[in-house]
Amino acid sequence: MDNPPSPPFIKGGRGGIIIAALLFNIFFSPAAASAAPKIIGKGLMAGINVSRILGSDISELWVSKKGLVVGGFLVIGLNEHLAIQAEILFSQKGAIYENVNKKNYTSSMSLSYFDVPVLANFYVPMSAGAKFHPYLFTGPSLALKIRGRYTETVQGETTESEMQDLRAVDLGLIIGAGMNVDLGAGKIGIEVRHWWSLASTLIDQDVKTNVLSILLSYSFN
């Protein structure tokens, strides 16, 4: 019986050899080694957050809440395929309490932050002259608290209070994918990213924030 082909990342597999050669060329080619870091893009981005707050100390009746995310970014190219992207974003997060047993009762948590991500971008190799540039990215992000409000509505009467147990800094991790389209004078982009807390969002509780974001961007070349 013939031996099955080796998986791509197993030694001896043809796919593994191809991938290893590609990565070696990206990271260790003379062109990559001689390229100096430089600014390859800067611009604005805006989109929608869909956030949830999860953990052992919070009820499953807290469901997702939509919010705005908007800000600017700077991209520093390291070589043809790698870049560092730094951002400053105003970001709305939170959750809504959904209780079908209390028709005259609603509540929500509205969290506002300055998010400061530092991302490593990997641009997928494309043919020369290509207009479309897909990429993957990951990196840490600091969420600096602006405000946290708890809103409760009982039989049409609404009260608001400040959340005293919201941490001043929420450390998170981002992964995502996007695509830029070259317009000549600039680039328009779209990306999807997932942000989640690495530690508890609230003090002395197991409560973490998860955010799915869809963003549009414009980069000035």
pTM: 0.79
pLDDT beyond 70 at 42: yes
Number of domains, the chain? 2
pLDDT beyond 60 at 21: no
Specify the higher pLDDT residue, 23 or 149.
149
pLDDT beyond 90 at 1: no
Per-residue model confidence as pLDDT tens digits over 47-91:
999 999 999 998 888 999 999 999 999 999 999 899 999 999 999
Query: Could you tell me if 21 and 54 lie in one domain?
Result: no
Specify the pLDDT at position 18: 53
Query: Could you tell me if 9 and 79 lie in one domain?
Result: no
* Residue 30: φ, ψ to 5°: -55, -35
Query: Could you tell me if 132 and 105 lie in one domain?
Result: yes
Query: Could you tell me if 28 and 122 lie in one domain?
Result: no
Contact 59/98 with Cβ under 8 angstroms? no
Tell me the pLDDT of the chain averaged across its residues.
86
The percentage of residues in the chain with a pLDDT greater than 70, rounded to a whole number, is 83
Beta-strand ranges (E) seen in 101-163 are 105-123, 132-154, 157-162
The span from the CA of 128 to the CA of 130, in Å, is: 6
Specify the pLDDT at position 14: 54
Query: Could you tell me if 70 and 107 lie in one domain?
Result: yes
Per-residue model confidence as pLDDT tens digits over 168-205:
999 999 999 999 999 988 999 999 999 999 999 999 99
Query: Could you tell me if 68 and 143 lie in one domain?
Result: yes
Specify the pLDDT at position 102: 66
Contact 217/45 with Cβ under 8 angstroms? yes
Query: Could you tell me if 156 and 69 lie in one domain?
Result: yes
Query: Could you tell me if 60 and 118 lie in one domain?
Result: yes
Q: For residue 24, give its domain range.
A: 1-34
Query: Could you tell me if 132 and 147 lie in one domain?
Result: yes
CATH number, domain of 118, equals: 2.40.160.20
* Residue 24: φ, ψ to 5°: -60, -40
